[in-house]
Structure 1
């Protein structure tokens, strides 16, 4: 009877629960997902990943910017950039005066020679205009080349002058350093001689 009472009073073993402990998609290891849960998971719309303002700003800042396409100026754009006031200040352009004078003189000489040699007035005028353009362009380019050569020469002169000044400053600094070292050596030798004289004196004195 005691055995029956003890067996009847002992609790029955707990049955494993087959109910799902969590919705499908979370980590659970008590059972395998059913076909209904798999189908529901496939049909469920996925939400886009949420980004914080810091991540969005960093992603926007780190995104490469597209290079801007630089438009090349055409001849029409260059012509449109010319203003009427530019013709009034054309003489201020370096070498422009020399080019005009050379072109005018060359054109006049060539036109006059062609007319003297028997050419008609329009033909002589054409030769004069061509000589003016050619002489002016050649004179202008020669003057510009001379200016560039002069600028390069002046640049070299300035570089050489600066180098010489730096050398002079370095030499002065070395002389000053040598003079200071010589003065220090003279002072040290004088101090040693004074110490030697003091050491040579007798420590006794009768009167």
Structure 2
């Protein structure tokens, strides 16, 4: 829970700040940088696992929660969704903030965030579910049982039992899947609306 929550919070913060920078500020090669960000969607996660593993090893963070969290502090899809959501905000609202000499931080927190709150909630739900269900990266980083995430602990339990206690394994699997499932069902409308609205403006 701690790992999934930390990753989710970090991704939300970095996605909001990066999306705001792409919408609010004008800087050199902004579109090229954003297009490069889009290209990262086509890079399989397995391609960057080995470099990330070597970096985490050199930092001495193997077998720690930080070793799982640090490589996942930002997310290209989250930045894309936040940029699209912010671009749908009427420009006169942002201009009004500028005319009132509001700082960028005030414009972000007082004007933009309240308007894109459903998108932020939906993005956070997706991030949490993905982090909660992540298996392979924690398997590479975490080696001691006390540090295992729930999916990793469940797999180790099934392997230790040799497949003889499938009833217990299924019960544990159901309990493991329950939190993200309830979260998704509760906030499903936010997710659908966000992904539909993200394509309104390009």
Q: Is the structural similarity TM-score above 0.5?
A: no
The TM-score, its normalising length taken from structure 2, stands at: 0.26
Larger helix percent: 2
Normalised TM-score (structure 1): 0.25
Larger radius of gyration: 1
